[in-house]
Structure 1
Amino acid sequence: MSGQREIIEEIVEGEEDENGEENLETGGNDVVESQGGDGEEVLTGRSPSAEVEDTEEAGTQADSPDDKDTQQETEYTETAVDPVEEDQSVLAEEAEQLEKKTENVGNATATVKVVLVPEGHVMTVAFAIGLSIQELKRHLASELRVPAGVLQLSLDDRVVEEHQSLMELGIRPHSSTRMEMSSTDPDSHPLRPLRPPQHNSMSDVITARVQTDEGVFKEVVVEIERSSQQRTFLGGYRHRLTGAEYHHAAVQTLPKKRPDRGVAVFSRDSQTVEVKSLVQQCPVSISTQMTGIGCYVSCVNDKLVRPGKYITADERHNRRLRAVIFLQSHARRWLAQQAVNQLRKERTRRLAWLELQERRRQQEKEEQLRDRRQRWMNPQKREDFNLLYNALEKWRREEEQQINSSLRGAERKKALCSLLEQEVQLIAAIGSHRIFMETNNYDKVIQTFLNKSAAPHQWRGADGRLIEMDTQFTIRARELRDLYNNISLFTVNKEQRIHDLQTLKHTVMECECQLTRDIVDLIDREVDLMSRGVKASNLEGLRQRTCTLFLQYIKTPVFNPNVVKLLKVPQNPSQLKNDMFLCRGCHRYLRSASFAASASGCLSSMCQHCAGLNNIARPRDDFTLYKKILRKLRDDELLLNKDAKFPFLLQVEDIRYLIEVIWESHSALNGSSDLYNLTFVRWQRQRDWSPWNCILLSKEETKAHLELEDVHKTYEKTLICGVEHKHAVARQHFSHISVMAKYLNSHLAAPHGN
């Protein structure tokens, strides 16, 4: 109450200063005392400032010399009343009057200009100074259509509280203040005015002083509302004596908008043509005037018209009919030529496409044969040597069959011994070539190992781009790889070689152990021999030992932690507890990665190395073609269904069983036995591929088969029965495998229409 009382006293003093001159001009006649019906004093004819001064005049009216009786009564009262009771009554009256004045002052309005941060737009509002900042925020939030909780008002760079009022902030009635408003969440609720910003040269709120009665003035707050539309001047009135002009209300208010009826309306002028009146003289040829008395008409331009052959209506219709038939015959002939030409073009295009497909198939077959011949002549991989051993086995069987069919007795044994010697020589030649290729590929294997260890971490980002990240371990592996490549070059000059050896020496001396000491001894020995002028050819063995020891240094996880993921033997012995199996061939305990997996989920009894030796010694099979068929099957199924399971559960041995045992290595339609041209497709294309929903066809038949909607209406009953029998055999074979049997029942119960 003390703070509000101080503000009211300041406001009263300011209004006294402003209204002092007005009170002097009226000569004190604005205050008229009149006795009411209840004996109370009623003040009439006073200005608003006089009402505010009631608190000060209440104490001075008793001492006024105007009324002697009043003074005597006051003196009598002062002598009769106790001073303490008098002070309490006076304080109560002052508090009551102060509350009334506070309510009157709180209802007064002030002009508040709010600046929107950071846009800089200004909003002007006439607001009562007795209301709180929270109510001002609600008013502004409704104007800006944002939640009131995100608004923040500040005055003189200081954030104001919501419970404070404009009066408590020191704002006087009928004054103007400037405040800044910002949003606590500018991303979701930015502050933008709904109406376009107006010119800042004119104020939005003005305070006008209006005379309500004789000698009585009243402050009125006027809000100016601007319109972007240009209003026409409709006239008005002018006072003859004062010269004041009064315009119509339509000039000062917004125009009334007509409702849109949804129908385009045009004026009459836009729907009619311009009409003109013209005077025209008739020519002589159409005049009816003839030569007569007093009138001569020239006959120079006259001509004689003779009637021709009369044509009846039937003759005219017949002539038009013959003309129509003539035109139709030529038009149909032209259309027929166009249709024949189109058919000829389509036939030519079809023949060209068939020829192109045939040429492409021939090229693919020739390329496959060329690749197979190249693998025979220059084998590089393990599959290439398996192809050689397979060809050797086919040749041995053909020769043995020919010998058994043509020779008998001792000649047969002699021929078989000669065949055995030739087979041994060929096996030895293939083995020597394999050892030579492994020696040549040693550097490639080492380089691949070093590149994998130095590769950065890669992953796909949300936008699909490939992101790479280097760690301290990948940087270390990259430095060791580059140093190994420099050490492996034996053809560099002497200075460069010494520099590389010194770099290697400083690198390995970071951790001292027996391996690093051996590398340092070899480096010192090579530097000493090079300083003595020893030939480079005599240092190759020493340099090779240095490279071998440094490679062992790189493969040690202590010196290169990034190679842990590439080592076959894990560094943690606990990982070997449940991952070791016995090989029945070499009788060694190896990890599960050394054994081949099958669709049944069981590992083979022999490791991959022993299985490869057994294949070379006994069956000599080549699985290259079956791998290609399985790879093509997986690619085709991924295009049709991304959730395909069966093609990825099968292994190469299972595909070989399907082709050789169930489908007997030939196409189900034309009987082609060329494995290079055979492929697996769906039997019913609405269902996923499985061993009991497949058919083995050639590449030419695949496209036509996949276009069939219902195979039971297209193929003969004999072919359908044969295919269904093969499906039953495949279902019986793969039902013993637990992984396949899990999907067998669900696949049969699944609805069609994939």
Structure 2
Amino acid sequence: EPEPEPEPVAMPKFIDVAVSQTHKVRVVIDSAGSHVKPRFVGGYRDIRDGTKYHHAQIQTERQTELRYVEKYTTETQTYELRSRTTETTRESSTQMVRPDLMLDDKNDVVVRVGKYVTAEETTSIKAEKAVTLQRFARGARDRRRRDALRNKRDAELKAAEVALETARLAEERKRLFDIERRVSPRTDADFKLLQREFDEWRLKETAKIDAAFPAPVEAEAPESVAVAEDERRRALGAGLYSTATLSVSAAADADGAAVARERRRRAMAELLAKETKMLLAMERLRRRAAEENEKERVRDALEDMAASKHWEKKDGAVVIVDTTQVIRARELRALYEACQVSCSPSERLELLRHLKWTVREFSTKLTKDIAELIDRESDLLLRRRDPATMAGLRKRLSGLFLQFIETPEFNPEASRYSVAALAKAEREAEREAERAARAERIRRSRESRGVYE
């Protein structure tokens, strides 16, 4: 009978090997390759402690720990040079002239040895060239500095010219503005300035008349005339007194006093005529400015009423909305602007028809007056009357229609421009605040008594 195969022996996971009498090493055993005979790779014996190392696959633990220390040697501080040789794809050689060989020497160059230069000469040449290089370098540096200073100077001059031109333009604009506000004043400040300058001019003209035509002195003594002349000189000043043509005369001189009074009266009459003319001109300017300001106010108010609403959402976006009130204000503005434009009779009749349809929606005294004026103008147009004769009628119709537009009952957007509507809104806000305060007092009173709803 064949012998039964021996059962495989379970190898331990590790074994303890006594390396020396006092030192043991635990070796981990690979159970997967335990039945494979390791390949012999040689071995050696440690002469220090007699440890035997059979081959490289079974090694003991390292006895000493390797420490990597940064070292500096001459090898790391010395540049390493290497020589390399190479072969080119084209070979070259030098051929000398022979009796049996003809060479082309048309491109040959004759090279002659120059003068021998000693070390002292080389040093002097280097010094000279260094001075030349320094001269050019310093010249380039100074030229750059010169250009920088020149650019700075030019920039400062240009800035000064710009500032001077700006100041001149500002002064010119101010002068033109002062002239414009005197020629065609628009605001109360302009008219106050005109009135102040008018009063100053009137006082100066009166002083000139006083200097030219002095009033006679009632006293008969010559000393009184001299005293009056001195007081007149002090009152008028050197400038006005030098322009005086007559001196102070006594009242006893009837002929001289009468002549002086007559001349003074004429001069004052001329001054009064000039004052009247200037005041009338100022009044005409005031009326024209009031009309222009009123037109501008109406135009701005109508534009604001017809402007779209800008509502801001929670995320910051703005929504443009045209409400029914805005559309209504826009239609009324278009009708009012059409009333101010001259047009043909047929177009005027169509416009008047639209106006009548607009105001017939309401039944008030104002709308009845507008409808009556519309019927009157329509009748005159049908009779082919001259439009110039209807200027007053059209002006009155435009005024009443503007009043219609500015009434919050007919145009809700006009409530922001109506004093009565604003006062009514304030009264409503006050009543609402009083009702809220009364409700708060009642609530606190009930809470104090322990009564809760």
TM-score (norm 1): 0.34
- Counterpart residue number, 1:703: none
Distance 2:92 2:264 in 1: 132
Which of 398, 404, 418 matches 1:547?
398
CA RMSD in angstroms comes to: 4.1
- Counterpart residue number, 1:8: none
For 2:419, give the aligned amino acid.
K
Q: Helix, strand or coil: the match of 1:468?
A: strand
Distance 2:114 2:349 in 1: 126
Mapped contact 1:557–1:563 kept (Cα < 8 A): yes
The C-alpha deviation readout for 1:543-579, integer Å capped at 9, x for no partner, is 2222222222222211111111112344545847999
- Counterpart residue number, 2:162: 356
Structure exhibiting the larger radius of gyration computed from Cα positions: 2
Which of 125, 129, 132 matches 1:319?
125
- Counterpart residue number, 2:58: none
- Counterpart residue number, 1:239: none
Distance 2:275 2:129 in 1: 92
- Counterpart residue number, 1:516: 367
Where is the strand percentage greater, Structure 1 or Structure 2?
1
- Counterpart residue number, 2:416: 565
Classify 1:356/1:401 alpha carbon distance in 2 versus 1 (closer, same or farther; 3 Å): farther
Which of 161, 167, 171 matches 1:365?
171
Classify 1:278/1:400 alpha carbon distance in 2 versus 1 (closer, same or farther; 3 Å): same
- Counterpart residue number, 2:330: 478
Matches within 5 A, 1:680-691: none
- Counterpart residue number, 2:308: 456
Deviation at 1:328, TM superposition (A): 1.0
Q: Helix, strand or coil: the match of 1:428?
A: helix
Distance 1:304 1:427 in 2: 110
Mapped contact 1:453–1:566 kept (Cα < 8 A): no
Which of 318, 335, 346 matches 1:495?
346
Classify 1:397/1:282 alpha carbon distance in 2 versus 1 (closer, same or farther; 3 Å): same
For 1:540, give the aligned amino acid.
A
List gaps (5 residues or longer) in structure 2.
Answer: 1-82, 96-109, 212-235, 249-259, 431-453
- Counterpart residue number, 1:434: 286
Classify 1:474/1:427 alpha carbon distance in 2 versus 1 (closer, same or farther; 3 Å): same
For 1:552, give the aligned amino acid.
Q
Distance 2:154 2:422 in 1: 69
Matches within 5 A, 1:57-72: none
Matches within 5 A, 1:703-714: none
Deviation at 1:430, TM superposition (A): 0.7
Distance 1:534 1:304 in 2: 120
Number of residues paired by the alignment? 287
Distance 2:202 2:292 in 1: 30
Classify 1:577/1:391 alpha carbon distance in 2 versus 1 (closer, same or farther; 3 Å): farther
Distance 2:402 2:271 in 1: 46
Distance 2:264 2:162 in 1: 53
Deviation at 1:348, TM superposition (A): 2.0
Q: Helix, strand or coil: the match of 2:310?
A: strand
For 1:382, give the aligned amino acid.
D
Distance 1:306 1:502 in 2: 119
- Counterpart residue number, 1:445: 297
For 1:535, give the aligned amino acid.
D
The C-alpha deviation readout for 1:163-188, integer Å capped at 9, x for no partner, is xxxxxxxxxxxxxxxxxxxxxxxxxx
Distance 2:182 2:361 in 1: 50
Distance 2:308 2:386 in 1: 40
Distance 1:487 1:305 in 2: 110
Where is the helix percentage greater, Structure 1 or Structure 2?
2
Classify 1:422/1:538 alpha carbon distance in 2 versus 1 (closer, same or farther; 3 Å): closer
Distance 2:388 2:92 in 1: 125
The C-alpha deviation readout for 1:313-357, integer Å capped at 9, x for no partner, is 344323211221122123212322232232123212211221121
The C-alpha deviation readout for 1:113-133, integer Å capped at 9, x for no partner, is xxxxxxxxxxxxxxxxxxxxx
Mapped contact 2:332–2:405 kept (Cα < 8 A): yes
Mapped contact 1:505–1:520 kept (Cα < 8 A): yes
Distance 1:465 1:501 in 2: 43
Mapped contact 1:450–1:481 kept (Cα < 8 A): yes
Mapped contact 2:373–2:393 kept (Cα < 8 A): yes
Q: Helix, strand or coil: the match of 2:419?
A: coil
Q: Helix, strand or coil: the match of 2:320?
A: strand
The C-alpha deviation readout for 1:238-263, integer Å capped at 9, x for no partner, is xxxxxxxxxxxxxxxxxxxxxxxxxx
Deviation at 1:372, TM superposition (A): 1.1
Mapped contact 2:404–2:410 kept (Cα < 8 A): yes
